[in-house]
Amino acid sequence: MDISDWRSKIDELDEQIVILISKRAEVAKAIGELKRKTQSPVYEPGREQTVFDHVRAVNPGPLADAELLHVYERIIDVMRTLQKREG
């Protein structure tokens, strides 16, 4: 494969990632609505740690756990912001 083939592969993977992140956001939004109804806090450090532990446990590489956690910290931050939005 040449570089254009690899870039096409990255484009395909990015499309899949966008779809999965969008699905994750829909779930986070639904959870945010439930949290508002039950007056539960949006920020749940214990749950976030559980997510980080799970991601570490299923990480096949080549990213080191710390690198993958940086990505997930940002994803969770964005999802938390989404949960704080009304409606």
Please list, residue by residue across 46-67, b when 16 or more beta carbons sit within 10 angstroms of its beta carbon and e when fewer do: eebeebbeebeeeeeeeeeeee
Domain ranges of the chain: 3-84
The CATH class of 3-84 is mainly alpha
pLDDT of amino acid 85:
87
Name all contacts of 6-15 with Cβ < 8 Å and 24+ positions apart: none
How confident is the chain (87 residues) per 10-residue block, as mean pLDDT?
97 98 97 94 95 98 98 97 84
pLDDT of amino acid 87:
60
